[in-house]
Structure 1
Amino acid sequence: MEVNKPEIVAEVTAAFVEYERALVANEVDTMNALFWHTPETVRYGIAEVQHGGDAIRAWRASCEPVPASRRLYRTVVTTFGADYATVSTEFTSDATALLGRQMQSWARVGAASEAYHGWKIVAAHVSLIAAP
């Protein structure tokens, strides 16, 4: 298994950048399209938990948008072979003095001919801590 094959890193990075763009723009359809819509998908949020694509979509339909001031730091994309990756990042915004942390597991669960080469978020975790 090859770690961080450049073309795979580029694919995952592009999908992650699109997800972040949609998150800040509150484009729910795009965010939903980039999450794997199955019962196995899990999202642990700052103050909530969703198990399954239906729960994630229901929560997303009623949640507050992230602040437009959201900024990412120390983003790390790591790919394993051609079909699995993790993306880790830290974030800040004007809405809180806390430091945000976000971890996503991405898998190529769609066809390579699909948008973003079939990459989907299959698990995610978001948390806030006191800034160091």
Structure 2
Amino acid sequence: MEIDLPDVLAEVTAQFERYEKALVSNDVAVLDELFRNDKRTLRYGGGENLYGYDAIMAFRAARPSAGLNRRTDKTLVTTYGRDTAVASTLFYRDSAPGKVGRQMQTWIRFPEGWRIVAAHVSMIDEPKDPKT
């Protein structure tokens, strides 16, 4: 298996960046598009466990649109072959000093394009050692 084929890495990175832009601007249509429309798609969030596309869509529709700005760090996208990828990033919000968010997404290429099939978001206290 080839890891990080340049063309595949560029495709997934572009989709990840599109997701990030949609997230902070609350572009629900794009966020809905980028999650796989399937009952097996899941998203574990900071305070919710969402099973299935419909639950994820409902969460996005009800989420407040204020306070979504954040900055990311240590973003890593890794592709496996031509059709699978994992994207990970740390994020920081001014509204949560001393905390660091962690986000991971599993992306799969389908005929309609790259889609997230699993996502996990959590917050922890910012580690004292900047290397961790």
Same fold (TM over 0.5): yes
Give 1:64 deviation, angstroms.
Answer: 2.2
User: Is 1:65 aligned with 2:65?
Assistant: yes
Q: Give the distance between the partners of 1:65 and 1:102, measured in 2 at CA.
A: 19
User: Is 1:49 aligned with 2:49?
Assistant: yes
Judge conservation of contact 1:24–1:66 (CA < 8 Å) in 2.
no
1:70-119, Cα deviation, whole Å (9 max, x unpaired): 000000000000000000000001110210000000000234xxxxxx00
Q: Give the distance between the partners of 1:41 and 1:65, measured in 2 at CA.
A: 23
Letter in 2 for 1:130: D
User: Is 1:128 aligned with 2:128?
Assistant: no
Identity of aligned residues (%): 48
Secondary structure of 1:31's counterpart equals helix
Please name the residue that 2:111 is paired with.
110
Q: Give the distance between the partners of 1:68 and 1:44, measured in 2 at CA.
A: 18
RMSD of equivalent CA atoms: 1.1
Q: Give the distance between the partners of 1:62 and 1:109, measured in 2 at CA.
A: 28
Please name the residue that 2:114 is paired with.
119
Q: Give the distance between the partners of 1:9 and 1:66, measured in 2 at CA.
A: 32
Give me the TM-score of the superposition, normalised by structure 2.
0.92
Letter in 1 for 2:46: I
Judge conservation of contact 1:19–1:30 (CA < 8 Å) in 2.
yes
Aligned residues between the structures = 126
Give me the TM-score of the superposition, normalised by structure 1.
0.92
Please name the residue that 2:23 is paired with.
23
Secondary structure of 1:96's counterpart equals coil
Q: Give the distance between the partners of 1:81 and 1:15, measured in 2 at CA.
A: 17
Q: Give the distance between the partners of 1:125 and 1:65, measured in 2 at CA.
A: 20
